C-alpha cells in the first residue's frame, strides 16, 4: 500500500499501523489521544510519559510503537522492562500477536545482513519472534527485548527507544535513571507508561515535580499535558476534588472509546472492586493501600494552624531505634479532654550502613524540645534505650513512663488514637515527619479482631525505607493513650511546677 509522508511522522505512523491486526481480527487504528502522545514522541522529546487509567490501550500502543520504531530506525534497540518479567512480557505478547496476525510483518524479505554474511538463503521473516528469549528481531538488525526491571541487569543497554511499563510498580526509578543517562549515545528516547502510584512514592514525587517544573502546561478537563525541553507528560485523571462515584466524571478520565458509562458502572459494582483500587487504577489518582490505618481525609481534617504555646509543659512520646527505623519524638499537650494537640515531630534517621544513630543526637533533640516547652513526662519503651531513660530523668528532670509495644498496649494505643481522631479531638500541625509516618501505617488485624498500627512491610533492608517507617505515629499513639490515664494524676504537679 502507498505510505503517506515520511517515517516518524503521524500520517506515516497512522498508515503503517493500519496493517496491524488486533486479536479480534480488526485493523488497529490508534485513537486521537494515542496519536497525540505519538506526535510528542516523534517530536524528539527524550523522555515521554503516558499516565492513564488501566484498560485504555497503553500496552497496545507501545507494542505498535515498538514495532514501528524497529522497522524505521536502523539497528533499533528497544528494551522493555516492567516491575517483573511477567508484566513486561505482556508488551512482548501484544507485539508478537501483531506480528503473527499481520501478513505484512511476517512476510519474507531479503535480508542484507544475511547476504553480507555470504548466506545462500537471504530471505527471512520481516520480524522474527523468539519466545524463549522474549525477543523480536527485525531483519535489518533491530531488536525488541524484554528485561527485568533492575538497574544492574539493564546497565549494558543503550536504547534507541526504551520502554518502561507500569513505572509506578518499579521498586524505584533506578533503571529509568540508568537508561536516561545513556540516551545521548544513540540519540535515544524513553517511553514510560503507567497508572497512578502510592502517595509519597518516588514515582509520584517525580510525577508531581514534572507538573510543577514544566515550562509548558496545558489542562483540558481530565487531561494534562506538561512539557519541558527534555520531558513530556500526558496524564488522564479525575481532577482534584472530582467525584469518583460519578461515572461521567470517571469516563472523562478514560478516553478510550470502548470504555462506556455502563461498563464503568458495572466495574464499580463488582464485589471485588474496592474504593482504593477504583481510585487508583480507574480514576488514576494516587491512592494508598486498602489496609491503610488512617485515611488522608481523616488525617488532614485534624490539621490546624494552632501551635502548642511556648513555655507550656508538655508530654513527649519517644520511639527509639538505632540502625534501620527512625527515632521519633512527638510533643503532646492536652488543653482539655476534647482539645488534644501534637506538636511537630522530630525524626532522626540512622546511617543505615550498619552503624548506629549517635545517642548524643537524640539527647540534643530532647534538650532542644525541652528549651521551648518544658518536658514533664516522657513515654517510651525503656527496654530499647534504658540508658537514655536514665539520662532523661537525671538531666531533664522528667518522669519516664515505660510503655512496651506488646499487642495489648498497642491495641489500646490504636483504639484511643483512632477514637480521638475520628471524634475531632486530636489536632496536629501537619508537619512532614508525623504526617508521613501516620500515612505509612497499616492496620494489622490480630487474631481476636483487634487492630494495631503496623509497618506496611516488616523488611528493614529493602528499597524506599522512608515509606515503611511509622515511628512518629507509634510515639504519638502511646503518649496519647498514656496521657489519658495519667494526666489527671499529674495536673496538680504540673500546675505547681
* Strands ordered across the beta sheet of 47-51: 127-130, 135-138, 143-148, 77-82, 161-165, 189-194, 47-51, 231-236, 223-227, 216-220
Question: Beta strands 231-236 and 223-227: pairing type?
Answer: antiparallel
Match 543517562 to its residue by C-alpha cell.
Answer: 181
Match 542484507 to its residue by C-alpha cell.
Answer: 112
Question: Beta strands 47-51 and 231-236: pairing type?
Answer: parallel
> Got the DSSP string for 381-438?
-GGG-HHHHHHIIIII--EEEE----HHHHHHHHHHHHHHHHHT-EEE---HHHHHHH
Cα–Cα distance, 37 to 225 (Å, whole number): 9
Is the CB of residue 101 less than 8 Å from the CB of residue 64?
A: no
Q: What average pLDDT score do residues 240-250 get? A: 93
pLDDT at site 51 = 98
pLDDT at site 461 = 46
pLDDT at site 381 = 94
Give the pLDDT confidence of 31-43 residue by residue, as tens digits.
999 999 999 999 9
Is the CB of residue 276 less than 8 Å from the CB of residue 296?
A: no
- Label residue 268 by pLDDT band (50, 70, 90): very high
**What is residue 373's three-state secondary structure?**
coil
Helix 471-496 × helix 407-423 angle, to 10°: 80
Exposed / middle / buried, residue 3 (Cβ in 10 Å: 0-12, 13-18, 19+)? exposed
Q: What average pLDDT score do residues 469-478 get? A: 95
Cα–Cα distance, 258 to 236 (Å, whole number): 16
Q: Which residue has the higher pLDDT, 334 or 493?
A: 334
Q: What average pLDDT score do residues 157-162 get? A: 91
Give the pLDDT confidence of 195-230 residue by residue, as tens digits.
998 877 789 889 999 999 999 999 999 999 999 999
Among residues 339, 312, 350, the alpha carbon closest in space to that of 480 is found at 339
Residue 286: is its pLDDT beyond 90? no
Residue 241: is its pLDDT beyond 90? no
Contacts made by residues 358-361, CB under 8 angstroms, sequence distance 24+: 359/387, 359/388
Q: Which residues is 187 bridged to in the sheet?
A: none
Is the CB of residue 485 less than 8 Å from the CB of residue 337?
A: no
Lowest-pLDDT choice from 246-255, 284-293, 399-408, 472-481: 284-293
Cα–Cα distance, 263 to 269 (Å, whole number): 10
Report residue 208 as a C-alpha cell: 508531581
pLDDT at site 466 = 57
Is the CB of residue 427 less than 8 Å from the CB of residue 341?
A: yes
Q: Which residues is 161 bridged to in the sheet?
A: 189
pLDDT at site 493 = 47
> Got the DSSP string for 182-211?
TGGGTT-EEEEEE----TTSHHHHHHHHHH
**What is the average pLDDT score of the chain?**
88
- Label residue 104 by pLDDT band (50, 70, 90): confident
Cα–Cα distance, 211 to 207 (Å, whole number): 7
Among residues 439, 469, 429, the alpha carbon closest in space to that of 200 is found at 439
Say how far residue 399 (Cα) sits from the centre of its chain: 41
Cβ atoms within 10 Å of 290's Cβ, excluding its own? 11
DSSP 20: -
pLDDT at site 343 = 96
Percent of the chain with pLDDT over 70: 90
Residue 463: is its pLDDT beyond 60? no
Residue 175: is its pLDDT beyond 70? yes
Q: What average pLDDT score do residues 130-142 get? A: 89
**What is residue 236's three-state secondary structure?**
strand
Match 521519633 to its residue by C-alpha cell.
Answer: 328
Cα–Cα distance, 84 to 47 (Å, whole number): 22
pLDDT at site 149 = 65
pLDDT at site 2 = 43
Is the CB of residue 452 less than 8 Å from the CB of residue 446?
A: yes
Report residue 286 as a C-alpha cell: 494516587
pLDDT at site 464 = 52
Cα–Cα distance, 458 to 242 (Å, whole number): 35
Is the CB of residue 307 less than 8 Å from the CB of residue 343?
A: yes
Give the pLDDT confidence of 381-431 residue by residue, as tens digits.
998 899 999 999 999 999 999 999 899 999 999 999 999 999 999 999 999
pLDDT at site 87 = 78
Among residues 284, 377, 372, 300, the alpha carbon closest in space to that of 56 is found at 284
Most confident of 17-21, 50-54, 77-81, 383-387: 50-54
Lowest-pLDDT choice from 137-141, 170-174, 246-250: 170-174
pLDDT at site 494 = 47
Is the CB of residue 58 less than 8 Å from the CB of residue 52?
A: yes
pLDDT at site 144 = 94
Q: What average pLDDT score do residues 121-141 get? A: 84
Amino acid at each position: 500500500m502507498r505510505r503517506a509522508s515520511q517515517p516518524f511522522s503521524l500520517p506515516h505512523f497512522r498508515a503503517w499501523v493500519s496493517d496491524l491486526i488486533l486479536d479480534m481480527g480488526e485493523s488497529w487504528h490508534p485513537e486521537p489521544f494515542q496519536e497525540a502522545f505519538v506526535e510528542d514522541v516523534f517530536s524528539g522529546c527524550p523522555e515521554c510519559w503516558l499516565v492513564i487509567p488501566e484498560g485504555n490501550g497503553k500496552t497496545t500502543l507501545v507494542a505498535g510503537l515498538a514495532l514501528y520504531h524497529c522497522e524505521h530506525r536502523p539497528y533499533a534497540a528497544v528494551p522493555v522492562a516492567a516491575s517483573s518479567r511477567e508484566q513486561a512480557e505482556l508488551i512482548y505478547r501484544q507485539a508478537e500477536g501483531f506480528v503473527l496476525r499481520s501478513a505484512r510483518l511476517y512476510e519474507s524479505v531479503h535480508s542484507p545482513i544475511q547476504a553480507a554474511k555470504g548466506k545462500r538463503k537471504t530471505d527471512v521473516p520481516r520480524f522474527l519472534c523468539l519466545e524463549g528469549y522474549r525477543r523480536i528481531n527485525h531483519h535489518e538488525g533491530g531488536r525488541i527485548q524484554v528485561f527485568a526491571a533492575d538497574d544492574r541487569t539493564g546497565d549494558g543497554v543503550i536504547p534507541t527507544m526504551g520502554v518502561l511499563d507500569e513505572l509506578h510498580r518499579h521498586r524505584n526509578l533506578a533503571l529509568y535513571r540508568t537508561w536516561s543517562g545513556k540516551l545521548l549515545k544513540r540519540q535515544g528516547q524513553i517511553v514510560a507508561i503507567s497508572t497512578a502510584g502510592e502517595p509519597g512514592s518516588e514515582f509520584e514525587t517525580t510525577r508531581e515535580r514534572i507538573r510543577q517544573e514544566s515550562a509548558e502546561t496545558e489542562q483540558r478537563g481530565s487531561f494534562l499535558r506538561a512539557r519541558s525541553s527534555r520531558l513530556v507528560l500526558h496524564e488522564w485523571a479525575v481532577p482534584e476534588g472530582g467525584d469518583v462515584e460519578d461515572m461521567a466524571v470517571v469516563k472523562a478520565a478514560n478516553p478510550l472509546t470502548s470504555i462506556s458509562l455502563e461498563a464503568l458502572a458495572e466495574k464499580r459494582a463488582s464485589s471485588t472492586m474496592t474504593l482504593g483500587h477504583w481510585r487508583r487504577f480507574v480514576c488514576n489518582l494516587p491512592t494508598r493501600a486498602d489496609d491503610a490505618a488512617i485515611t488522608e481525609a481523616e488525617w488532614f481534617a485534624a490539621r490546624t494552624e494552632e501551635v502548642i504555646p511556648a513555655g507550656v509543659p508538655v508530654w513527649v512520646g519517644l520511639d527509639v531505634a538505632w540502625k534501620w527505623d527512625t527515632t521519633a519524638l512527638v510533643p503532646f499537650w492536652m488543653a482539655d479532654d476534647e482539645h488534644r494537640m501534637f506538636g511537630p515531630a522530630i525524626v532522626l534517621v540512622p546511617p543505615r550502613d550498619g552503624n548506629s544513630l549517635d545517642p548524643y543526637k537524640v539527647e540534643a533533640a530532647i534538650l532542644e524540645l525541652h528549651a521551648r516547652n518544658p518536658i514533664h513526662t516522657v513515654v517510651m519503651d525503656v527496654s530499647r534505650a534504658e540508658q537514655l531513660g536514665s539520662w532523661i530523668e537525671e538531666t531533664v528532670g522528667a518522669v519516664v513512663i515505660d510503655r512496651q509495644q506488646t499487642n495489648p498496649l498497642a491495641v489500646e494505643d490504636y483504639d484511643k488514637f483512632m477514637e480521638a481522631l475520628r471524634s475531632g479531638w486530636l489536632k496536629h500541625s501537619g508537619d512532614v515527619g508525623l504526617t508521613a509516618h501516620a500515612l505509612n501505617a497499616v492496620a494489622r488485624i490480630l487474631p481476636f479482631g483487634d487492630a494495631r498500627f503496623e509497618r506496611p512491610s516488616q523488611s528493614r533492608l529493602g528499597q524506599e525505607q522512608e515509606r515503611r517507617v511509622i515511628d512518629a505515629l507509634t510515639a504519638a499513639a502511646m503518649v496519647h493513650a498514656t496521657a489519658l490515664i495519667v494526666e489527671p494524676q499529674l495536673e496538680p504537679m504540673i500546675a505547681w511546677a
